[in-house]
Amino acid sequence: MGIGFEQMWAELQPLGRSATSGGYFRQPFDAAERECHAWFVEQAQLRGLEVGHDGNGNSVAWWRAAEHAGRPAVLTGSHLDSVLDGGAFDGPLGVVSAFGAVDLLRERGFVPSRPIAVAVFAEEEGSRFGLACLGSRLLTGQTTPDQARALRDRDGGFLLDAMSAAGLEPELGRSDLFGEVAAFVELHVEQGRDLVDRDAPVGVASAIWPHGRYRLDFTGEANHAGTTRMADRQDPMLTYAMTALAANKQARLADARATFGRVEVAPNGINAVPSRVTGWLDARAARTETLDAMVDAIGRQADDRAGRDGTRVVLTVESQSPAVDFDPVLAWRIADRLGGVPMIATGAGHDAGVLSASGVPTAMLFVRNPTGVSHSPAEHAELADCLAGVDALAATLADLAG
């Protein structure tokens, strides 16, 4: 037997929570995230589920029997890491709901005809090592071990060192953790207001927008803030600032998204003109052509401004994720099974998108977010909507594994 949704949520909620902001700091392979992972293992064992791991930091809890041998599995689950100062629901809601759905199916006497697995993927947010959905990308071969070994966190630490320090035995690369997969269904809090506008507690994903992360290195000449005339400066901060404004304008014109959410400055002194500014651009759009055109326009405007400022700028693509159109037959089947719930696209990336790109029939369920705020301590979902999500996930798993 398991424990109820509310009790699971109450146990998980304090882990990694800031007493100052109320936000979450569950960085991959740090103490708070490992506590969450220990909670996951405990919940699996409480339900008699077999727990497995791979060398990429991914984990799975199996509900299966001898008669399931050779049959492809139905996967669900999400992730337990967070962005810096993030919300409680992004990721954990999908894991708690997965256990809740298993409990509900068992209470109803459901006997699956194929294995059901609850998965937890590592470093989904990319907030520590810079590459989103790292665990699922490694598992499916979309990121190579060599690429992953080169990743560093903000303090310069390597991925393998962080995994080893957390007590893991890293063995990066393709993994048969799940074996053959019939379908993957990820439940997630909505990161927008579409379901609020439709007055619907639950929806089904139709697609994920294409998106990318880009590093822009602006370089100039360090100098004294008090003695250097404005006309004599080669200030990369000005070039960066105008580029950030250009990104805002281009995104608004294209009805897309462009965000500079991280900046590093050297030498980072109050009384010094900087020599270097590095900004990381997150860009997303409904179509690949729109995304590419927007990033190109931002790059051109950055180059033009650099020429006027006497600075230099280099734009580097750090990661790109193509548009994902979820399996339409599966999506419509789930929406119909749930009584015709709405189908919506999302601008947020997910492990479901990675698995879909690797050929796994994949779907997503979204739970209404009353404010639409996400990646923030204000992220929220009402209990009634969360329970509606558990019920919807249980119905979906019953349909796919029945």
Q: Where in the chain is the domain with CATH 3.40.630.10?
A: 5-209+324-401
Give me 264's structure tokens.
Answer: 């590093």
Residues 150-161: tens digit of each pLDDT? 999 999 999 999
Q: Please write the tens of the pLDDT for every residue from 24-81.
A: 999 999 999 999 999 999 999 999 999 999 999 999 999 999 999 999 999 999 999 9
Peptide bond into 267 cis (omega under 30): yes
Q: Which region holds residue 255: left if phi is over 0, alpha if psi is between -120 and 50, else beta?
A: left
Q: What is the mean pLDDT of residues 334-340?
A: 95
Please report which confidence band the pLDDT of residue 2 belongs to, taking 50, 70 and 90 as the band edges: low
43 φ, ψ to 5°? Answer: -65, -40
Give the pair of three-digit tokens for residue 320: 């790109």
CATH code of 211-321, in short, is: 3.30.70.360
pLDDT at 54 (0 to 100):
97
Do the beta carbons of residue 192 and residue 341 sit within 8 Å? no
* DSSP β-bridge partners for residue 277: 218, 265
Buried b (16+ CB within 10 A) or exposed e, 46-55: ebebebbbbb
- Bridge partner list, 314: 217
Say what the pLDDT of residue 1 is: 43
Please state which architecture CATH assigns to domain 5-209+324-401. 3-Layer(aba) Sandwich (3.40)
Q: Flag whether pLDDT at 341 surpasses 50.
A: yes
Return left, alpha or beta for 107; rule: phi > 0 is left, psi -120 to 50 is alpha, else beta.
Answer: alpha
**3-class secondary structure, 154:** coil
Tell me which of 19-23, 100-104, 241-245, 320-324 is least confident.
Answer: 320-324
For residue range 231-281, list pLDDT tens digits in order. 999 999 999 999 999 999 999 999 999 999 999 999 999 999 999 999 999
Quick one: pLDDT at residue 391? 97
- Per-residue pLDDT at 321 exceeds 70: yes
> What does the pLDDT average to over 186-199?
96
Q: Give ranges for CATH 3.30.70.360 in the chain.
A: 211-321
pLDDT tens-digit series, residues 171-180: 999 999 999 9
Query: Rounded to the nearest 10 degrees, what angle do helices 383-401 and 328-337 cross at?
Result: 120
